[in-house]
């Protein structure tokens, strides 16, 4: 946490014992503001009154008036007064968490008044805070990059796995298709072999039937021949018998 010095210190170093300073130190900011506004009505270019009004308005949370009054003083030829105005504006920006703007005003304040220890302390403390914030941001950025890279790797692995699964599925389907084709081919081959075997059996039966028919024809012919021979023998026997009887 940065310690920001109060406006009271610079208000006291600028003014002597006037009514505005006394009211400011007692916390009577309305009275202090009324005093400085009265002075500015008569002396519009009074830079010390502008500075006092800016400090008082800040305590009243009137940041617009405070910023306007201090801006009127920061370009003063009085380097000490300009340095203090820049310092107080730096405090205001610090309160608004405008760190870079605040740091720049502290640096300008030191350039105008190198002896201002308060400005140096606030400058160094704020610079340290900004460095720590930068380191934290870099760390978070690196962590986010690591997370993003890890996510990309996971997505890549997921895509590779998905592709591999699809390829494996495709291979399985292709293998299944080949197996089915082989199975169908084997079945067709088996059917063809059965058909060929049946055809051979039928052909064999036909050949066998033809042979049987030939054999039966031959057998029948032999039987017919034998019957003819028997008839001839009977006829001869009768003939001889007749001859004998005679």
For residue range 141-182, what is the model confidence (pLDDT) as tens digits?
A: 888 888 888 888 888 888 888 888 887 777 777 777 777 777
**Burial of 116 (C-beta count, 10 Å sphere; 0-12/13-18/19+):** buried
- Contacts of range 117-122, beta carbons closer than 8 Å, 24 or more positions apart: 118/5, 118/9, 118/87, 119/83, 119/87, 119/90, 121/3, 122/2, 122/3, 122/4, 122/5, 122/87, 122/90, 122/91, 122/94
Query: Could you tell me the maximum CA-CA distance found in the chain, to the nearest angstrom?
Result: 205
Range 206-217 average pLDDT: 69
Q: Which residues contact 21 (CB under 8 A, 6 or more apart)?
A: 11, 12, 15, 32, 52
Q: Please provide the size of the chain in residues.
A: 246
Q: What is the pLDDT of residue 206?
A: 65
Higher pLDDT, 20 or 237: 20
**Burial of 12 (C-beta count, 10 Å sphere; 0-12/13-18/19+):** middle
CATH fold of 7-115 reads 1.25.40
Where in the chain are the domains?
7-115, 119-246
- The pLDDT of residue 202 is above 90: no
This prediction has a pTM of: 0.55
- Whole-number Å distance between alpha carbons of 11 and 48: 9
- Whole-number Å distance between alpha carbons of 7 and 3: 13
Residue 145 corresponds to which tokens in the numbers above? Answer: 């990059």
Residue 208 corresponds to which tokens in the numbers above? Answer: 């066998």
Q: What is the pLDDT of residue 6?
A: 42
Q: Which residues contact 88 (CB under 8 A, 6 or more apart)?
A: 7, 10, 54, 55, 58, 70
Q: 23, 35 in Cβ contact below 8 A?
A: yes
Q: What is the pLDDT of residue 224?
A: 73
């Amino acid at each position: 946490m940065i310690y920001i010095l109060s406006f009271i210190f610079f208000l006291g170093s600028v003014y002597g014992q006037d009514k505005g300073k006394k009211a400011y130190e007692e916390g009577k900011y309305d009275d202090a503001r009324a005093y400085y506004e009265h002075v500015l009505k008569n002396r519009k270019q009074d830079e010390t009154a502008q500075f006092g009004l800016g400090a008082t308005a800040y305590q009243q949370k009137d940041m617009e008036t405070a910023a306007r009054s201090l801006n009127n003083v920061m370009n003063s030829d009085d380097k000490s007064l300009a340095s203090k105005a820049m310092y107080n504006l730096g405090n205001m920006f610090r309160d608004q968490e405008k760190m870079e703007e605040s740091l720049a005003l502290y640096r300008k304040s030191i350039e105008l008044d190198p002896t201002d220890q308060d400005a140096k302390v606030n400058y160094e403390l704020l610079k340290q805070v900004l460095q720590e914030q930068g380191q934290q941001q870099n760390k978070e950025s690196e962590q986010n990059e690591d997370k993003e890279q890890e996510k990309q790797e996971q997505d890549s692995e997921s895509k590779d796995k998905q592709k591999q699964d699809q390829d494996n599925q495709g291979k399985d389907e292709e293998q299944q298709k080949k197996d089915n084709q082989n199975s169908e081919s084997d079945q067709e081959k088996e059917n063809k072999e059965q058909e060929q075997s049946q055809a051979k059996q039928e052909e064999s039966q036909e050949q066998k039937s033809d042979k049987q028919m030939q054999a039966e024809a031959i057998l029948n012919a032999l039987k017919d021949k034998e019957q003819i021979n028997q008839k001839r023998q009977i006829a001869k026997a009768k003939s001889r018998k007749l001859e004998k009887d005679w």
